[in-house]
């Protein structure tokens, strides 16, 4: 069979139907938050677990200038801030340093340098971390440098609000809580066990 016959046989085969035209491409869509068409949307990466997670803070139970809520502590702190600080430091340090030692350290710094506020502001920061208190009205250092007595009174009132009896100290409060828990356990009747009825 020569080439002309092959070509004639090939041309006699039925042809396939034509392909439909491709659909038109949709216009590019952009997020409503971006006005510029060439600006890409930000990628929401997962949070790094090594970064500190934000945690909620609570407000102080009383304001910085509410010193008149407890006149006795206000007067004591005005004349002898070392005593008020000693009570605060013993509770915040969970009894590792006694009230007398903390007050003596505070008084020594006050007499030698006059900058006892730099020492007491550390305890405000530590106390805020223990009770998740907000840093207000400004940073701890500024609060103590500008209003040392008011800051100590506020911390003293806050510890009372948290349930501490400041006259007992840390170990006295721990013992008081232990006695309260023991009385509550003794007052609770034991669960009754019903026997099998024959």
CB 139 within 8 A of CB 132: no
pLDDT, residue 185, reads 84
pLDDT, residue 15, reads 57
CA dist 39 and 35 (Å) reads 8
Break the chain down into helix, strand, coil percent, rounded to 5.
Answer: 50, 0, 45
CA dist 122 and 112 (Å) reads 18
Is residue 142 scored above 80 in pLDDT? yes
Burial label for 154, CB within 10 Å (0-12, 13-18, 19+), is: buried
Take residue 121 and report the two structure tokens written for it. 């502001």
pTM for this entry:
0.65
CA dist 151 and 129 (Å) reads 16
Of residues 45 and 25, the one with the higher pLDDT is 25
CA dist 195 and 198 (Å) reads 9
CB 87 within 8 A of CB 99: yes
Average of pLDDT values for 98-111?
A: 94
pLDDT, residue 75, reads 94
Lowest mean pLDDT of 46-55, 63-72, 164-173, name the range: 46-55
């Amino acid at each position: 069979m020569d080439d002309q016959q092959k070509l004639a046989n090939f041309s006699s085969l039925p042809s396939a139907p034509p392909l439909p035209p491709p659909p038109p491409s949709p216009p590019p869509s952009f997020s409503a938050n971006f006005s510029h068409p060439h600006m890409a949307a930000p990628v929401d990466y997962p949070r790094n677990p090594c970064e500190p997670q934000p945690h909620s803070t609570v407000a102080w139970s009383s304001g910085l200038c509410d010193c008149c809520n407890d006149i006795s502590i206000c007067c004591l702190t005005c004349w002898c801030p070392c005593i008020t600080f000693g009570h605060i430091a013993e509770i915040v340090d969970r009894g590792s340093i006694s009230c007398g030692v903390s007050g003596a350290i505070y008084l020594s710094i006050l007499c030698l340098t006059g900058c006892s506020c730099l020492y007491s502001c550390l305890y405000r920061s530590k106390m805020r971390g223990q009770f998740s208190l907000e840093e207000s009205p400004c940073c701890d250092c500024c609060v103590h440098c500008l209003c040392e007595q008011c800051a100590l009174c506020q911390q003293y009132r806050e510890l009372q609000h948290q349930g501490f009896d400041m006259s007992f100290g840390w170990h006295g409060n721990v013992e008081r809580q232990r006695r309260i828990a023991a009385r509550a356990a003794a007052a609770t009747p034991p669960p009754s066990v019903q026997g099998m009825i024959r």
